[in-house]
Chains A and B, each alone.
Chain A
Amino acid sequence: MARRPFALLLLLALLAGCGPRQGRTLTIMTHDSFAVSESIAVAFEAENNVTLRFLVSGDTGEAVNKAVLAAGNPLADVFYGVDNTFLSRALEAEIFEPYDSPLLEQIPDAFELDPTHNALPVDYGDVCLNYDRAYFADRGLEPPGSLEDLLRPEYRGLLVVENPATSSPGLAFLLATIGHFGEEGYLEFWQGLRGNDVLVVNDWETAYRTEFSGSSGRGPRPIVVSYGSSPPFEVMFSPQPPTEAPTAAVVSDGSCFRQIEFVGVLRGTENRDLAEAWIDFMLSVPFQEDMPLQMYVFPVNTEAALDEIFTLHLAVPENPAFVSPEAIAANREAWVEAWTETVLR
């Protein structure tokens, strides 16, 4: 017993980072999917004579809420990771200070959902239907090509989706149907899906790993709501990489929803200059090219090149369905409630 308080003190000293430190520290608050190559981070630290400190604050929703509750007296200097489904919540709480980064010139206007430049786009990812290629090939069945196809009788009982109330890809897919069929038509479509025996689970892990037949879990259902990037990652993260992806994404017009993630300078920071330098760095080519393999999302900077594995296996939708952040903020609860009423009750 006598040794325990000592162990505690040792631990606290260790964790408080009592080692000698030089120069300034820049704190970056982010969600739990954030990752970066060591060499990239070290390069920034050396160039700016700064120590980077990352603050991971739960999933996207939890992290945004924490930033909102700390608005004006921030925990960090920069916040990265608010997406277009949470953007309005962050902007309304005025958590950011505007910053006109010179690198915005290299980013297409379609990604700039915040014209005030409080939040600057960093990356995007598409939520799309994925299907198990072998399943359809073995049966000589045509794979689905659009959202409407899902209502066809030959696809009865083949689809698994995530609950939009609890899952971020689930919400994105609901938004795709709202963008595609309109507020008047989406519930009718979901009514049809329910009639065609759609399976709803609460999280992406259960949908993709347990129920989907195209991934390592070899579940029973060959169509799933996942990411447009899932097929290349099936190739990359396989113990023995196959030459062809076992799955494919449906990227026809209006069938995917694009999640865009943003970064911003937190209002009240005392390191404004370093915060700006970090944001420029995130938007610059080296960081943008590092993201796909670290965070499984794609660069918004048009000058960033993609690894060969993506040029071979990635399908990018040209015209994803669109719903504005303001509309999402205003109607999120009502849409999810109406969906729950239609599909689950």
Chain B
Amino acid sequence: MTLPLAPPARSRPTARRRPAILSGALWLAPLAFLAVFYFYPLGSLLSLGLSRSAEGPAAPFLEMLASPFLRGIVGFTFGQAALSTALTLLLGLPGAYLLARYSFRGKALLRALTAVPFVMPTLVVAAGFSALLGPRGWLNLALMGLFHLPAPPLQILNTLGAILLAHVFYNTTIVLRMVGDFWSHLDPRLNQAAQTLGASRAHTLFRVTLPLLMPAIAAASLLIFLFDFTSFGVILVLGGPRLTTLEVEIYRQTVSLFNLPLAAALTILQLVFTLGITILYLRLSARVQRPLHLRGGSLTQRPLRGLRERLLAAAMIGVLLTFLVTPLAALAARSFARLEPEAGQPAAPRPAWTLDYYHELGINRRRSLFYTPPAAAIGVSLAYAAATVALALGLGLPAAWSLARGEGSLARRVLDPILMLPLGTSAVSLGLGFIVALDRPPLDLRASPVLVPLAHTLVAFPFVVRSLVPALRSIRPRLRHAAGILGAPPLEVIRRIDVPLVGRGVLVAATFAFLISLGEFGATAVVARPEYPTVPLAIYRFITAPGALNYGQALALSTILMAVCTAGMLGIERLRIAEVGEF
């Protein structure tokens, strides 16, 4: 069955030359940024590492290729990433559908809550899963109490299951946002037309909806896969000592063993994989991209009707909440609870409720120089996040704009994959690279807090570009042509056509930059100054200190971080409502 879609953009005649020059100019800033703050530091570290090899720079590569242990690690890294991505899509796509097509009460809150996992530090998430599923988690406590069991029946920590669960927990929001947003602007009349022409619902889904969604699904899958592929904290804390990925091995070789030659070889291997995965994605996505007639959300969404729809929606919301919100809720609950051992019955402790941990957060009991009141840490986090959003959008917009225009151009083939490389680079390599490379004026930034938003921008940049490109590319060339024919100068076309249509893409991009900065830990820990700790750093200080009071404060501060994130997301939701009318 064929549908009356607009033919692919490349068959239309477009003025090539001027955009090519323009596109080159647009690349200058982002490329200069990457060159100075990414390629130069990383390249310096890698060349230093390889030059330290006693048997020549090729030796560590040969060692790597010959080791069956490392081959096993590579296999596991790919396997867990593929499984995690598939499971994340399985959970995320129905959720994206619900959010894209229906309007219901509490939807803004649901959207906001599903973003919270993205900002939580790994140690806190691990604590959340322990509080829910651990040997003394709420679930095991309930089961032990219910069935009078002597030992916890559920054993999930230190298994592949825990890794998959945590990855789904972290990344589902990428599907909800990137796919859900694109979906909400697809014209529902296409489906109605298909069904009027006799197609079944399943047929319509597989032949019309999913193909149209493919660009967004592919972009989300790429980001999720790369996140899972280079996952560090989740593997280390929840996977336990037997499960190791490439990223964890790079950290081990760099930090514990200081084997810089082998670490350099492994880093290059991981970059090659990142590049390969990205190129594969670009090949695939070139085939599925179509210009579409996008519609405002108000035209594509309707309230839930009938019992069946309501029940299905309730079930979907229930599943989303179970996976994304219960570990956080368990953690928040524990920040108000003290586990009292019962005399003579140490196997089944009972919680007692308390506000002690919150109260304690506001007191500098030890009169420490580095004591930070929670409000100050939140202020630092928000300031870094604002800087990251500004930097990432300032650099990402021109890059995405020229990528979207320059179909099949040099930019698209060579520069696009390069943008994704920071996602495939471990924070510890980058931190050491800064030390090796940025050590002379005017770039002696080794001790500067400016490194924090710079490092955050490197991670956020790929997200910004990936969120913007599908939105920019889906603008129908006809609209721009029409404007041109009617006499609008090129800048006017951009202002009147591109800017309003791209608004929603910018919003998704800004959201990701905000969330990434709010939650980033690895790079921040290596470059931050103790006087200006972000909330995740302050949490880390509590969680690594001894005693119940410190642990309770870590959980209390995590709960505050959740609240800040939810409030921030609800604020962004308000902007979304304002933007709908622009279509």
Residue positions of A touching B, CB distance < 8 A: 1, 4-5, 7-8, 11-12, 14-16, 27, 32-41, 53-59, 61-62, 65-66, 68-70, 73, 75-76, 89, 132, 134-135, 138, 163, 165-166, 200-206, 208-211, 213, 215-220, 227, 229-230, 233-234, 236-239, 293-294, 296, 332-333, 336, 340, 344
What residues on A are CB-neighbors of B339 within 8 Å?
Answer: 216-218
Q: A76-B447, A138-B346 are in contact. Are A166 and B236 (CB under 8 A)?
A: yes
Interface residues in B349-369 (C-beta closer than 8 Å to A): 349, 354, 356-357, 366-369
The 30 sampled A-B contact pairs (Cβ below 8 Å) are A1-B393, A4-B394, A32-B541, A33-B544, A40-B369, A54-B531, A56-B530, A58-B431, A65-B255, A70-B435, A70-B446, A73-B439, A138-B346, A165-B256, A166-B252, A201-B240, A202-B240, A202-B241, A205-B123, A216-B551, A217-B136, A218-B349, A219-B134, A234-B547, A237-B549, A238-B548, A239-B549, A332-B257, A333-B257, A340-B241
Would you call B254 an interface residue if the criterion is a C-beta within 8 Å of the partner chain's C-beta atoms? yes
The residues of B that contact A8 with a CB separation of less than 8 Å are 386-387, 390-391, 453
Tell whether, in the assembled complex, residue A238 and residue B341 are in contact, meaning their CB atoms are under 8 Å apart: no
Q: Which residues of chain B are near A201, meaning CB under 8 Å?
A: 157-158, 240-241
Q: Considering the complex, which residues of chain B in the window 516-537 have a beta carbon less than 8 Å from any beta carbon of chain A? A: 525-526, 528-532
**Which of the residues B346, B384, B448 comes within 8 Å of A16, measured between beta carbons?**
B448
A56-B528 in contact given A69-B432, A69-B435, A237-B549 (Cβ < 8 Å): yes
Q: Cβ of A11 and Cβ of B237 under 8 Å apart?
A: no
Which single member of A12, A132, A135, A217 contacts B450 (CB below 8 Å)?
Answer: A12
Closest residue of chain A to B527 (Cβ to Cβ) is: A57
B435: contacting residue among A11, A66, A211, A215, CB under 8 A:
A66
The 8 A CB mask of B268-309 against A (1 = contact, 0 = none) is 000000000000000000000000000000000000000000
Whether B431 lies near A200 (C-beta < 8 A) is no
Separation of A296 and B552 alpha carbons in the complex (Å): 18
Chain A's nearest CB lies how many Å from the CB of B376? 13
With A and B bound together, what is the CA distance between A225 and B391 in angstroms?
45
Judge whether B316 is part of the interface by a CB distance below 8 angstroms: no
B246 CB–A CB distance under 8 Å: no
The answer to whether B225 has its CB under 8 Å from any CB of chain A is no
Docked-complex contact B256 and A16, CB < 8 angstroms:
no
Would you give the shortest CB distance from B365 to chain A, in whole angstroms?
A: 9
Whether B546 lies near A296 (C-beta < 8 A) is yes
Check if A234 sits within 8 Å of B369, measured CB to CB: no
Cα distance, A16 to B531, chains bound together (Å):
12
Contact among B387, B540, B551 with A32 in the assembled complex (CB-CB below 8 Å): B540
Nearest residue (CB) in A for B526 is: A58
- Alpha-carbon distance A202/B233, docked complex (angstroms): 11
**In the complex, what residues of B have CB within 8 A of residue A210's CB?**
127, 130, 134-136, 157
> A5 and B548: CB pair below 8 A?
no
Give bound CA distance, A75 to B527, whole Å: 12
Distance between B340 CB and nearest chain A CB, rounded to angstroms: 9
The CA-CA distance from A206 to B136 in the complex, in Å, is: 12
How far, in Å, is A217 (CB) from chain B's closest CB?
6
Which residues on the B side are within 8 Å of A238 (C-beta)?
547-549
Nearest CB of A to B344, in Å: 6
Contact A206 B237 (CB under 8 A): yes
With a cutoff of 8 Å between Cβ atoms, the chain A residues found around residue B157 in the complex are: 201, 206, 210
In the docked arrangement, what's the CA distance between A326 and B508, Å? 54
- B369 A4 Cβ-Cβ under 8 A: no
A63 nearest CB across to chain B (Å): 9
Q: Tell me which of A1, A27, A218 has the highest count of chain B C-beta atoms within 10 A of its own C-beta.
A: A218
Cα–Cα, bound, A57→B431 (Å): 9
Closest chain B CB from A61 CB (angstroms): 4
> Within 8 Å CB of A209, what residues of B?
127, 130, 543, 551
Is B390 a contact partner of A7 (Cβ separation < 8 A)?
yes
Bound-state CA distance A332–B439 (Å) is 30
- Please pick, from A12, A220, A236, the residue contacting B135 in the complex, using a CB distance under 8 A: A220
Please, how many angstroms separate the alpha-carbon atoms of A208 and B130 in the complex? 12
Please, how many angstroms separate the alpha-carbon atoms of A340 and B257 in the complex? 14
A191 to chain B, nearest CB (A): 17
Which residue on B lies nearest to A38, using beta carbons?
B369
Q: Answer whether residue B370 sits at the interface, using C-beta atoms and an 8 A cutoff.
A: yes
Q: Are A234 and B546 in contact (CB under 8 A)?
A: yes
Assess whether A65 is in contact with B432, with CB atoms less than 8 Å apart: yes
Whole-angstrom CA separation of A288 from B389 in the bound complex: 44
Nearest neighbor of A206 in chain B, beta-carbon distance: B237
A54 to B262, CA, bound (A): 32
Distance to closest chain B CB from A138 (angstroms): 6
B241 engages A166 (CB within 8 Å): yes
Chain A contacts for B546, CB-based, 8 A:
208, 227, 229-230, 233-234, 237, 296
Tell me whether B6 is interfacial, beta carbon within 8 Å. no
Shortest CB–CB separation between residue A78 and chain B, in angstroms?
13
Residue of A nearest to B383 (CB): A11
In the bound assembly, the distance between CA atoms of A54 and B453 in angstroms comes to 19
Which residues from B are CB-within-8-Å of A27?
447
A73 to B383, CA, bound (A): 31
Cα separation A68 to B152 with both chains bound (whole Å): 46
Report A-chain residues with C-beta under 8 Å of the C-beta of B471: none
Output the least CB separation between B434 and chain A (Å): 9
* Given A11-B383, A36-B369, A220-B152, also A205-B526 (CB < 8 A): no
Set of chain B residues within 8 Å of A333, measured between Cβ atoms: 257, 259
Known contacts A62-B255, A296-B546; is-contact A202 B338 (Cβ 8 Å):
no
A202 touches B237 (CB 8 A): yes
Q: Complex formed: what's the CA distance from A27 to B448 in Å?
A: 12
Closest to B352 in A: A239
Are B346 and A217 in contact, with the CB atoms below 8 A? Answer: no
Most chain A CB within 10 A, of B354, B543, B547, is at: B547
Do residues B548 and A216 form an inter-chain contact, with CB atoms below 8 A? yes
**A60 CB to nearest B CB, Å:** 9
**Please, which residues of chain A bring their CB within 8 A of the CB of B394?**
4-5
B473 to chain A, nearest CB (A): 22
CA distance A59 to B504 in the complex (A): 40
- Nearest-Cβ distance from residue A204 to partner chain B, whole angstroms: 8
Closest to A63 in B: B526
Are the CB atoms of B126 and A206 closer together than 8 Å?
Answer: yes
